[in-house]
Structure 1
């Protein structure tokens, strides 16, 4: 199968891993990178247009159309896979000659932050709208689209276990962006796990310019940088995005893949993935999460056992991006 993947192709992104998964599945892949849309200062006209108006400027549309023409020169794709191309004129992608046109989003496509007027007006024209949010399926269908639910995935190139559990530096850590509903997390971890806790991700340093006693704070880590920092953490907190109404997220799959003990919010989908007390620990409040993490600190043998069971469950559960590529090809009936 020949696949044209259009999306943010920076190393370590979901889009890049999706393309790599199709290559691993034996497909011929060409990429069109849209990461340039988010370049520039926060106050540049392009960034303002994307973040506020939810639209690419005319120069952005023209650039995408040109780069697609270049990528498809001498290459006739069977499938066009567009990953969150909501800011562009949809016909730029939908008009590419191909047997199937698929839109994929790893975010909630009913959250206004993750859609645009352009995308919603053309949603029904996509042959398949792939979502990792099961609750999106009925909503997409009600809008006239053809939804398909797919679990999140991990990329074995980066989401791998390189360090023994007992040798990891940090007892507990969180890898993810700062958000209003989790802004107190660094202080909570620093006070309960002083010298043994870490938070990694964008905007934390902006919220805590002087840092937090007892806690290490780092900027976002991608690709091999993510592998290194993730392998330094024993217990990995999985906090979901309430605005996306998450029941699981990519981190739900990546956390056990890197050998961390999964400490995740208790949801229906997390209970489908894991068994509480056997392959993960599930909590209903941050206070409960802290108590569970403290118990694991006092019982390192049990912590290591649960972490290993979670890793094995994901590793042998068909959760790589290659597995998702095979699944999508089957759903499309294209080989």
Structure 2
């Protein structure tokens, strides 16, 4: 099968495109952002991005040319509106949207970022979203037709447990790590962990915005990490933390799948999703609030055998859960086949 994949050429979008290739598809990967001017993101967030859809449509039209595909996947889709979607549909009879974010909230907490996406949403043949409370109803109200909800996924290649060299161990080793961007509330959470005596390492962007930055600064080891460095930072830790984005109504996140896939013990908020994904105390350590998080991590740090047992059990559970990109891509291909048999429109 020939796949037209429209998504960023970095991060998890690139990982998903590669997974489609690994299961045997012939993939043309085009970035919808390649033809946009600098500072397009603030333009989109503050004004709704008038004109962006047309720029993306023109750019995709030139690069696709007269080629034809069995189906198309639009990853995210924040800059792909009806005009760009029309260009894509001219090249592929079935068009799927995959969005790991939450563009379905009303009102959106992200200003006007999803304005273009909302106009295109009713025109997709299949819309794949992350499991959240009430997400199907939110999607239907926004105009989504055929809906599929899934767990967040790790990648079989990028998040496989690495063998760190002595030099890499020296660079990436830590007791407890959080790899992720600063968001409101996270600085206070980390500050409380420090007060409780937890040895922390932090990797991620925007931490200078934290009110607690002076306290956190000695613990911040790097800015944003991707791919191999992201995996090394988690692999080098004895325990890795999951923190959720409350504004997105998250009950689990990509790290919920990635940390155990990498082979590190996971410590995550006690949500219904984490309780479904892992057996508490056996495959993951769960917490309510910073104090319980700190105490749970300290107990694990003091018990190497139990910590390794939890890490190994969590790793095995990821395969039982099927929270990997190749399982996701096969699921999408199966649904595309169903749509094709029934008529794409």
Output the TM-score relative to the length of structure 1: 0.88
- Distance verdict in 2 for CA 1:81–1:265, change over 3 Å: same
The answer to whether residue 76 in structure 2 is matched with residue 84 in structure 1 is yes
Stretch of structure 1 that moved more, 278-287 or 60-69: 60-69
Partner Cα separation in structure 1 for residue 138 and residue 158 of structure 2: 33
The answer to whether residue 42 in structure 2 is matched with residue 51 in structure 1 is no
Show the counterpart of 1:298. Answer: 302
Stretch of structure 1 that moved more, 85-94 or 153-162: 85-94
Partner Cα separation in structure 2 for residue 71 and residue 37 of structure 1: 11
Show the counterpart of 1:275. Answer: 279
Conservation of the 8 A alpha-carbon contact between 2:173 and 2:237: yes
Alignment of 1:116-265 (within 5 A): 116-134=114-132, 135-146=134-145, 147-163=147-163, 169-193=173-197, 196-207=199-210, 210=214, 212=216, 215-265=219-269
Q: How big is the shift at 1:25?
A: 1.2
**SS of structure 2 residue aligned to 1:107:** coil
**SS of structure 2 residue aligned to 1:3:** strand
- Distance verdict in 2 for CA 1:94–1:277, change over 3 Å: farther
Show the counterpart of 1:313. Answer: 317
- Distance verdict in 2 for CA 1:38–1:175, change over 3 Å: farther
Partner Cα separation in structure 2 for residue 269 and residue 38 of structure 1: 37
Conservation of the 8 A alpha-carbon contact between 2:8 and 2:14: yes
Partner Cα separation in structure 2 for residue 329 and residue 137 of structure 1: 21
Conservation of the 8 A alpha-carbon contact between 1:204 and 1:217: no
Q: How big is the shift at 1:115?
A: 5.5
Partner Cα separation in structure 2 for residue 89 and residue 278 of structure 1: 45
Q: How big is the shift at 1:118?
A: 3.0
- Distance verdict in 2 for CA 1:124–1:216, change over 3 Å: closer
Conservation of the 8 A alpha-carbon contact between 1:2 and 1:28: yes
Partner Cα separation in structure 1 for residue 93 and residue 227 of structure 2: 32
Output the TM-score relative to the length of structure 2: 0.85
Show the counterpart of 2:101. Answer: 107
Q: How big is the shift at 1:120?
A: 2.1
**SS of structure 2 residue aligned to 1:183:** helix
Partner Cα separation in structure 1 for residue 177 and residue 236 of structure 2: 9
Q: How big is the shift at 1:268?
A: 1.5
Partner Cα separation in structure 2 for residue 226 and residue 39 of structure 1: 29
Conservation of the 8 A alpha-carbon contact between 2:153 and 2:324: yes
Q: How big is the shift at 1:125?
A: 1.6
Alignment of 1:24-35 (within 5 A): 24-35=22-33
Q: Which runs of 5+ in 1 are unaligned?
A: none
Q: How big is the shift at 1:100?
A: 0.9
Alignment of 1:37-48 (within 5 A): 40=38, 44=39, 46-48=40-42
Partner Cα separation in structure 1 for residue 270 and residue 183 of structure 2: 19
Partner Cα separation in structure 2 for residue 86 and residue 54 of structure 1: 10
